[in-house]
Chains A and B, each alone.
Chain A
């Protein structure tokens, strides 16, 4: 089979079509929310929400078992959405009150989420193996129903995140100024938290709850190396997110490797490459002196080219030859 035929076969597979659509949507939406989280210095919030969502998955499973729905995990995604939204709002409230440090609150969320999930899945009659596909993702098993969920949530996240980007930027950049401008800071902060929660549940199927945050944060880390503006960072991060998701997925079509982990490793490799090459590129570009040309109030002899003062050099011996 030629390379072209292989690509056609890949695109012809309905399973792969669904997975690709999910990958593009998640790859585009996750870094948009991630940009706000990184700016608020809450890069780990996605992880906290991901852990809490695991409890939600198990809770959905438990309710599903009681209600005797089939399959048993039909309520797992709605359960994860509810738990993630509640968890993110709690994290935001704790942060706002400032009583417990955000750091400590997140840590408690991490442990509580995992422990709750493992405990509840047992009560629901499942096994830890059932949780694995949620923890590490199983994009290759995306069903049409899953795809609709993913598409709807991703479009919602993209619409709100991009549509309100200026307001969310203002609040994330300088909360004090936003308050002094009468902006509804609390509502907007909650909105960012809720968007993060929805993104976690959207991306859950693609990269898994444990790696969800990587897809939100690592593309932003790559983009901020190159971009100068917030808007550009967001756009580049989104493009990086789509690229690594699609490339990672395509790799798994031909090689038997887990998609979630492949996508995340690709993103981190991209970050490493960018971090190494950027200083080399930047050094070639810088030509102008960044210092403004203002008079200081001191008289000092010139020490190098470009630092001349309109004062003769200190004539005293001993200052030039030390």
Chain B
């Protein structure tokens, strides 16, 4: 069975075509990296596959079921890029992780919620932050809490949107360890990455998006030029990329 079967997916946001005819099939147990420049439609593609943003056309099946109420949502975990902008009410890491135990068929958390949330926080090394407000945490700590929220339901399909953006190097290493443990347990992983970096040994397959279309599907492509060197010092200022040749290249954030 395939974890994700997406056929001819088109997504339009604010009148602009963001994803333009993507076919993506991810077999169970595969670790797939979704690569591409900022604004290439990576995040929008995974959001549409998970039902967060509506499809303009195309079909999506998750874990064998068409997108909708019949999908076994308790087996799907999603880690968004950032923690949602905080409202005026504090919430602890424990509460955020417990909210990951809710899904389409469960509107109230199970009785053993505390034990399960504790275990998930512990696995990410943030058990000591359990009763702290998430609003007061650093970006890396918030990211770990978000991953714990996705893992607490023990998903078979895990989708991560740039889990290492703005994260320090040691923490990235611990993410790689966590991911390899999941892969060994047979979890299907789709991870959006800006650059493969420390994830390289884990990745089975890479899909590269450019202007909302798939331009590469296969083994991870080598990074461009000198960026691939192991000792490449990644601190020089990046020049602005060339303007796109076909159509406007937009990044749209859907908030609320």
Listed in ascending order, the chain A residues whose CB lies under 8 Å from chain B are 35, 38-41, 43, 95, 98, 163-164, 166-167, 169-170, 172-184, 220-221, 224, 227-231, 233, 290, 292, 294-297
Contact = CB atoms under 8 A, between A and B. Distances in A.
Contacts of A231: 95
A102 to B, nearest CB: 8
A173 B84 contact: yes
B132 interface: yes
A176 B52 contact: yes
B102 interface: yes
A169 B168 CA distance: 30
A95 B256 contact: yes
B170 A295 contact: yes
Nearest to B71: A182
A183 B78 CA distance: 13
Contacts of A164: 107-108
Interface of B: 47, 50-52, 69, 71, 73, 76, 78, 80, 83-84, 87-92, 94-96, 98-100, 102-105, 107-109, 131-133, 136, 138, 140-141, 149, 159, 168-171, 254, 256
5 contacts: A179-B51, A182-B69, A224-B90, A228-B131, A297-B169
A297 B235 CA distance: 12
A236 to B, nearest CB: 11
Select the residue from B51, B102, B108, B254 with max chain A CB neighbours within 10 A: B102
Contact of B80 (A39, A174, A183, A297): A174
Contact of B89 (A166, A174, A233): A233
Tell me the interface secondary structure of chain A in the complex.
helix
A179 B89 contact: no
A39 B87 contact: yes
Contacts of B100: 177, 181
Nearest to A169: B99
Contact of A176 (B76, B84, B168): B84
Contacts of B71: 182
Contact of A182 (B96, B104, B109, B168): B104
B104 A184 contact: yes
Nearest to A188: B107
B23 to A, nearest CB: 21
Given A98-B256, A221-B88, 6 more contacts: A38-B89, A164-B107, A167-B108, A182-B71, A228-B131, A229-B94
Contacts of A167: 102, 107-108
Given A180-B52, A183-B104, A166 B98 contact: yes
Given A166-B107, A176-B84, A180-B50, A233 B99 contact: no
B116 to A, nearest CB: 14
B51 A182 contact: yes
Nearest to B171: A294
Contacts of A178: 102
Contacts of B141: 292
